[in-house]
């Protein structure tokens, strides 16, 4: 229970920081990268703690942790070329 509470308490400031960054400099590359990294961190927290995949099969962990990483990389690459 303490782990879930800690994970939830970590996702709150990450969400607030993402919204704050999005309102202050939505077009600059650095804030967009920070927003995406915050989202990536939240995805990992959700997959490992809330979905309890920390002890799950390696294939599921790889898929659920790798997919947000791939999406983040694609969005950053597209934003950098824009």
Domain boundaries, the chain: 2-81
Q: Where are the alpha helices (DSSP H) in 1-82?
A: 2-24, 29-45, 58-81
Query: Which value, in Å, is the radius of gyration of the alpha carbons in the chain?
Result: 14
Other beta carbons within 10 angstroms of residue 41's beta carbon come to 15
On the question of pLDDT at 58 being above 80, the answer is yes
**Could you report the per-residue pLDDT of 4-53, keeping only the tens digit for each?**
888 889 999 999 999 999 888 777 888 889 999 999 999 989 888 888 88
Q: Please choose, from the candidates 39, 51, 41, 38, the residue with its C-alpha nearest in 3D space to the C-alpha of residue 3.
A: 51
Report residue 69: phi and psi, to 5°.
Answer: -65, -40
pLDDT of residue 61: 87
């Amino acid at each position: 229970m303490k782990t879930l509470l800690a994970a939830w308490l970590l996702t709150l400031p990450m969400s607030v920081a993402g919204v704050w960054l999005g309102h202050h400099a939505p077009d600059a590359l650095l804030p967009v990268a920070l927003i995406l990294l915050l989202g990536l961190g939240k995805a990992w927290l959700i997959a490992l703690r809330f979905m309890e995949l920390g002890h799950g099969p390696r294939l599921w962990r790889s898929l659920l942790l790798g997919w947000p990483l791939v999406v983040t990389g694609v969005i950053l690459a597209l934003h950098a070329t824009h």
